[in-house]
Amino acid sequence: MEEISKSEQANDNLLRSETPQHLDAMGSPSSPHSPHSVALNRSRNSGRNSPSSSVCSIPVSGSVIPIRATHAALVWGSVKAGKSDTKELTICNMSDNKIKLQAIIVDNEKNFKFLKERQTTGSSMILALQRMESRTLSIIFGPTNPGACAGKITFRHYEARKNSGNSCPSKFIHLYGYGGFGKVEVLEAFKDVSGQMWLSMGRFGLEGTLNAKIKLQNFGDLRSYVKLKLVPKAVYPGTVSSWQVNQTEFLLHPGETQWVSLQFHPKKEDFLQLHRAAVSHVGTLILTHGDEPTRWRIRRLYKKLHERGDLNREENESFKDVVYPICKEFPGETLLEDLTILRDSVQNLRDLCCGVFQQNVMLTMELSADETLSILEDNPDDSQMYYSLCSESNYSFAAADDSYMPSDIMNKSLCGEHGRSYGKEFTVSPSMVTLAPPHTTEATVTVSSFANISLPFETTISNAEYLSVTPNKGMIPTGKSIPLNIRCKEAVGQVIEAILSVYIENDKREVTITITNRH
């Protein structure tokens, strides 16, 4: 271990000192006679600021074996046991002579292997390199059990007869990874066809407070973290005081479920800045999550960067906004002792940050005219502000006999004479479907929205003892379509004509469903 530590320290020092100018000294491209040679290509894991951005820019420790490599170490985040992930590195013969090397992966648990030709794997391979020739190697990390995994690639001169002595020169490239995975999923939120999640805070009522809950569950086999951040849509001093989240950071054991409660108490400033529509986007809940081992590894490297003063540059602000909050201490966290064998360097932070995930949940509020008035009539000035707001609005609700909304809401308009109807802004097709159980028991109708805002919809279906529709309610994104699946029981035994009603705002579309009795 002492030898590995010295080697790694030398590699880290060389990583910091190397520049792309070393490429100029590499000479001619690789020999065309070698089918596996590559001429100064990029690793697929490289980036503009990655240590792997130029081939042969990192000398492997020592001076007897004349090779350089794109990486001092290959680092994986957390990989599910039984699954695998492949990374690449490139080595280059920096000498003026042809060399023949043996590369061996030293790994007691056999978690790391070379990916060879024809998709075969193994722990060793022979490499013949012409002068200045480079070769790309693929290494597979496939953990067999959850936990920290460490190994190394050892490069030695190839000898037909094994040399039993310990004086053979060698070079090392370290391999680090972690077995297991965390998978946090958001439940109890509507997901549209584009994958965007929506959560309704409900209809604003006389009590003046809206409440909602989301459910989070860890489906992985590693303990996972969750960090929540609520971003209000309205912007004014004290905007955050309108919101309350019962907990913003916590840990989830494998299989554990956690409910998060949200509370919104709108102020007049919120109404002045929000779109004056029946359904308004009032805020966004940002969830940052991942597995605990990766968070601990990121925290250790982030601390090193902070101590070196490399986080003061303006271009790192977005990185800090995401990573810094998860590097703080979480309630109930415990040290993972097996992480001590993973000697990640700051150059590996990019790879580890791929294990940090973010999801957004859009929060919406339903609004009606009479209920808006109650919050704005705090004093005469506020009331005057409300009436001024109404005089500029073009939105109202037109009453209809078949409306599914409460009559006391529909009988009053938000702002006087000017009205807007969503009647021509959505369609449902086809308007008639036929089912013939048991052979044909399902059909699909499409609801399309042409509105310039997202709209909520609800459905009702007659003869519910035989028929069902999914989803039966939700949100239609701006200008999008969603499919509704109609299903009937396989055994009906009679001819039935049913009606599917789709409601959006103050309008309704109907689909006639005929169930035939064919045998």
- Residue 420 domain-assigned (yes or no): no
Task: Look at residue 371 and tell me if it is in a domain.
Answer: no
User: Residue 278 in contact with residue 505, Cβ under 8 Å?
Assistant: yes
DSSP collapsed to 3 states, 106-139:
ECCCCCEEEECHHHCEECEEEEEECCCCEEEEEE
Does the pLDDT at position 3 exceed 60? no
* Whether residues 188 and 118 fall in one domain: no
Task: Name the DSSP class of 166.
Answer: S
pLDDT at 249 exceeding the cut of 60: yes
- For the chain, what is the domain count? 4
* Same domain membership, residue 218 and residue 197: yes
Domain annotation covers residue 103: yes
Residue 260 lies in a domain: yes
pLDDT at 313: 63
Do 210 and 279 fall into the same domain?
A: yes
In this structure, is residue 510 part of a structural domain?
Answer: yes
Domain CATH code at residue 29: 2.60.40.10
Residue 99 pLDDT > 70, yes or no? Answer: yes
User: Of 179, 200, 217, which one is at a domain's C-terminal end?
Assistant: 179
Structural domain contains residue 283: yes
User: Looking at per-residue confidence, does 268 or 84 come out higher?
Assistant: 84
pLDDT at 168 over 70: yes
Does 376 have pLDDT greater than 50? no
Query: Are 39 and 167 within one domain?
Result: yes
Q: According to the model, what pLDDT value does residue 358 have?
A: 95
pLDDT per position as a tens digit, 289-345: 999 999 999 999 999 988 888 776 655 777 888 999 999 999 999 999 999 999 999
pLDDT in tens, 122-156: 999 999 999 999 999 999 999 999 999 999 999 99
Q: Is the pLDDT of residue 440 over 50?
A: yes
Residue with more model confidence, 416 or 427? 427
DSSP string of 407-458, one letter each residue: HHHHTS-SSTT-----TTSEEEE-SEEEEBTTTB-EEEEEEEE--SS-EEEE
Res. 453: pLDDT tops 50: yes
Same domain, 193 and 153: no
Which domain-ending residue is among 179, 214, 235? 179
Residue with tokens 């190697």: 137
Between residues 273 and 450, the one the model is more confident about: 450
- Those residues whose C-beta lies under 8 Å from the C-beta of residue 92, and which sit 6 or more positions away, are 26, 55, 56, 67, 68, 69, 129, 132, 133, 134, 135
Q: Which domain holds residue 388?
A: 377-410
Question: Are residues 273 and 189 located together in one domain of the fold?
Answer: yes
* Cα angle for residues 356, 357, 361 (degrees, 5° grid): 150
Same domain, 173 and 300: no
Residue 246, classed as helix, strand or coil, is coil
CB atoms within 10 A of CB 436: 15
pLDDT of residue 240: 80
Q: Are residues 170 and 189 in the same domain?
A: no
Task: State the pLDDT confidence band at 89, using cuts at 50, 70 and 90.
Answer: very high
Computed over every residue of the chain, the mean pLDDT equals 77
Q: Are 370 and 408 in contact (CB under 8 A)?
A: yes
Most confident of 201-215, 358-372, 482-496: 482-496
Considering the domain boundaries, does residue 277 fall inside one?
yes
Question: Cβ distance 55 to 90 under 8 Å?
Answer: yes
Residues 207 and 288 in one domain: yes
Residue 409 binned pLDDT confidence (cut-offs 50, 70, 90): very low
Assign 50 to helix, strand or coil: coil
- Asked whether residue 370 is assigned to any structural domain, the reply reads no
What's residue 518's pLDDT? 61
Do 217 and 338 lie in a common domain? yes
Evaluate whether 204 touches 371 at the Cβ level (below 8 Å).
Answer: yes
Same domain, 149 and 222: no
CA angle at residue 17 from 16 to 20, to 5 degrees?
Answer: 100
Asked if residue 475 and residue 336 are part of one domain, the reply reads: no
Mean pLDDT over 41-47 rounds to: 39
> Helix (H, G, I), strand (E, B), or coil: what is residue 30?
coil
Residue 399 tokens read as 């009453």
Which of 341, 363, 385 terminates a domain? The answer is 363
